Structure 1
Amino acid sequence: MCHQVAYALPCEHIRTQTVYCANATLENRADGRETKGSSAARSPSLIGETKARGSPKDLSYKRPCGNLTVQSLPYPMPPSFAEDPTIFSSSPLSPNCPLSDCPFEMKGRCWNCCWCGKRGNMTGRCGCVMLVDGNSLQCEHLCCNECEPASIGGRV
C-alpha cells in the first residue's frame, strides 16, 4: 500500500510526500515503459506539479500502486508554540514554501492585505474580520503579488 500525505504550509500552499510500496511502478517518461518498483521511496512534490519529479537526467518517476491512501494535515507545529501558534510562521522551525515565487515568502512572511487593508498578517491567508451592514465577514484573501510587505518590530 502506498501512502500520500498533503501538508498545508503556513503560506497555504501544499507540499505532498508519498511513501511508495514495492507494488509501485516506475515509469520512464522518455519511452512510456513501466517497471515494477523494488523498494519503498519518498518523493516530495507539490500538488498540481506537472514537471518530472526526478532530476533532469532521470526522466523516470514512481506511480503509486492501486491501493493508495491519502491524508491531509496541517504542517506539524512543535508543542512549544501551543501557547501562541501565530508566531510559528515566523519561526525558523516553520518550513519555507518550495515555490520560488510564493508571495508570502517574498514578503518576509508579514504582509498587508490588498483587499481589506489589514496590516501585519503573519500567515498566508488574511485574518481580518469585517463588519458589513451589521454582519461579520472574514476576508480570507491569500497573500498575492498585489499585497505589500509589512514591517513588524523593524522587520520588513
Structure 2
Amino acid sequence: MTSEKRRLPVLQSHGEDEGEERPPWHWIALGTVAVFLVWLPLAGLVNTLLRRMLERTDDAGAPPSVRLAMVGLNVVAFALAGAAGGYLVGRFGGRAGRREAAASGAVVAAIAWAIALAEGAPAGALGWALLLVVMVSIGGAASYAGGAAGLRGRPGGAPPPRR
C-alpha cells in the first residue's frame, strides 16, 4: 500500500485549460443582462424617492422642478447602470471591447423603449422616435465609457485582440 495521496485533477487546475473563449457577441447579451440587473434596483430606489417628493406636493399636477427631477434622476440611474454593464464587458470580455459594451447599452435602451411603447403612453410618432434616439444615445455612450474603463482595468491593461 502506498502512502502517496491522490489529488483530483479538477482541484489542481491552474487555469491552463479554461475552455474556449466566448465570441464577442455573447458579451453583448451578458452586458445587457448586467445593465438590467443594475438598472432595476436603481430605478426602484429613484422612483421611491420621487414618489415621496410627489406625496409632499399638494397640487394635482407635479411642479416643474419635480418633473425635471423625475427625468433627470432616471437618466442618471440608467447611465450608471449602462456604465456598470459596460465595465463588466470591457473588464472580463475577452475579445469583446468598447463596441460590444456600447451595443449592450443600446440593446437595453431599445428594450426599455419597446416596453414603454407597449404601455401606450401618448407621445406621437415623432416623440417616440426622438425618445428612442435619446435612450439609445445615453445607453450606448454610458456603456461605451464603462467598457473603456473596464479595458483599462484588465490585468496589464491589455486591450482585446484585434479581429
Which structure has the larger Rg over C-alpha atoms?
Answer: 2
Q: TM over 0.5: same fold?
A: no
The structure in which a higher percent of residues are strand is 1
Higher-RCO chain (CA-CA 8 Å, sequence separation at least 6): 2
- For Structure 1 versus Structure 2, the TM-score category normalised by the shorter chain is under 0.3
Larger fraction in helix: 2
